[in-house]
């Protein structure tokens, strides 16, 4: 049976005693799913997975998304989104600036992702230390800790989530390629509850993020941006955050309803980072 060791932070646990390259029996799978719901981010160290094994383990959770940007997926594997700073033959092999702002994956979609499964192939090392950590924040704990007045402001309120706004947001002076009209048409601005209910645990989760949320519907513009800015400051407080230091072979699953994440981009070539992600299909938030 698996061993689950909580990180000691508001979220996050390590799981040992399972080899994800092999079919996982139903009892073990159930224990993994329960651990994900309880700890929100789970880490399986020292896994050795082929792309096929990464995909087939992910499929045990349900259907997978194919990323909007197929130019950032592993050739031949539309379900494997590559996050990497590596350039080959003059072209990036993956998304070079994913996760620059706090977000959850696909929050701008009608049916945001349930969770993501992220596998570390190569981790940049400097002076014996890994670089390129990822920060995770618990949206259940962050919601619970809000003042009652803020909870009342957010009660039954919708927020606008805009892929386009997130995509075009200024990132360290490195502009991104323009989206095609076809790509843009696939991701219209989306209204979602600012606080959503976790479909498995019933817990309330703060569902606004720095990367994509542009507006709280029904508030005057100034108040909307003031409240959003306060929430963005609140949700990244240390007491809600787990910081993951990567080792090659780490396989992480994060819950996109219960958490948000952000990349720490503190390395550059020739230090290489290469990660791959599958993305679980989710359902409309409520």
Q: Which is nearer to ligand OGA, 70 or 226 (CB)?
A: 70
- Smallest separation, CB 83 to Mn ion (Å): 8
Q: Which residues bind ligand OGA (CB under 6 A)?
A: 83, 98-99, 105, 116, 118, 134, 261, 263, 275, 277
- Smallest separation, CB 227 to ligand OGA (Å): 25
Q: Which is nearer to ligand OGA, 65 or 216 (CB)?
A: 65
103 is catalytic: yes
For the beta carbon of residue 59, count every other beta carbon within 10 angstroms. Answer: 13
How many Å apart are CA 13 and CA 10, to the nearest integer? 10
Q: Which is nearer to ligand OGA, 120 or 142 (CB)?
A: 120
105 is catalytic: yes
Interacting partner of 84 out of Mn ion, ligand OGA, none (Cβ under 5 to 8 A depending on kind)? none
Pairing mode, strands 259-263 and 251-255? unpaired
155 is catalytic: no
Sorted by sequence, the CB contacts under 8 Å of residue 197 that are 6+ apart come out as 203, 204, 205, 285, 286
Which residue among 37, 67, 72, 103 is the active-site one?
A: 103
Looking up tokens 């160290």 gives 45
Interacting partner of 277 out of Mn ion, ligand OGA, none (Cβ under 5 to 8 A depending on kind)? ligand OGA
- Smallest separation, CB 48 to Mn ion (Å): 24
Interacting partner of 224 out of ligand OGA, Mn ion, none (Cβ under 5 to 8 A depending on kind)? none
203 is catalytic: no
Which residue among 37, 105, 273, 274 is the active-site one?
A: 105
Interacting partner of 35 out of Mn ion, ligand OGA, none (Cβ under 5 to 8 A depending on kind)? none
Q: Which is nearer to ligand OGA, 39 or 261 (CB)?
A: 261
Which residue in the set 11, 18, 94, 99 belongs to the binding site for Mn ion (CB under 5 A)? 99
Nearest CA to 143 out of 221, 72, 62, 203 is that of 203
How many Å apart are CA 58 and CA 50, to the nearest integer? 12
How many Å apart are CA 42 and CA 221, to the nearest integer? 38
- Smallest separation, CB 110 to ligand OGA (Å): 19
Which residue in the set 105, 215, 250, 255 belongs to the binding site for Mn ion (CB under 5 A)? 105
- Smallest separation, CB 231 to ligand OGA (Å): 19
- Smallest separation, CB 157 to ligand OGA (Å): 26
Please tell me the count of residues contacting Mn ion according to CB under 5 A.
Answer: 2
Residue 164, both tokens: 């386009």
Q: Indicate whether 276 belongs to the interface with Mn ion (CB under 5 A).
A: no
How many Å apart are CA 83 and CA 275, to the nearest integer? 5
Nearest CA to 136 out of 40, 211, 16 is that of 40
User: Where along the sequence are the contacts to Mn ion (CB under 5 A)?
Assistant: 99, 105
Q: Which residues are catalytic?
A: 103, 105, 261, 277
């Amino acid at each position: 049976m698996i061993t689950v060791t909580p990180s000691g932070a508001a979220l996050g646990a390590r799981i040992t005693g399972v080899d994800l390259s092999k079919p996982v029996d139903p009892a073990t799978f159930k224990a993994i799913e329960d651990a994900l719901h309880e700890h929100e981010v789970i880490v399986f160290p020292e896994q050795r997975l082929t792309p096929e094994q990464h995909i087939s383990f992910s499929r045990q959770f349900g259907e997978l998304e194919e990323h909007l940007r197929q130019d950032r997926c592993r050739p031949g594997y539309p379900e494997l989104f590559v996050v990497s700073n590596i350039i080959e033959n003059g072209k990036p092999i993956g998304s070079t600036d994913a996760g620059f702002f706090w977000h959850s994956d696909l929050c701008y979609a009608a049916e945001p992702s349930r969770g993501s499964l992220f596998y570390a192939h190569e981790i940049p090392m400097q002076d014996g230390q890994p670089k390129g950590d990822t920060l995770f924040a618990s949206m259940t704990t962050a919601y619970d800790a809000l003042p009652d007045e803020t909870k009342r402001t957010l009660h039954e309120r919708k927020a606008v989530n805009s892929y386009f706004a997130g995509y075009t947001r200024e990132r360290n002076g490195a502009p991104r390629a323009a989206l095609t009209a076809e790509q843009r048409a696939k991701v219209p601005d989306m209204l979602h509850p600012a606080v959503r209910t976790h479909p498995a645990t019933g817990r309330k989760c703060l569902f606004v993020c720095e990367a994509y949320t542009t507006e709280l519907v029904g508030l005057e513009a100034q108040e909307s941006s003031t409240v959003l800015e306060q929430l963005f400051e609140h949700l990244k407080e240390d007491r809600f955050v787990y910081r993951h230091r990567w080792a090659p072979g780490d396989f992480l699953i994060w819950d996109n309803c219960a958490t948000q994440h952000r990349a720490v981009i503190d390395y550059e070539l020739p230090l290489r980072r290469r990660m791959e992600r599958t993305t679980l299909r989710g359902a409309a938030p409520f």
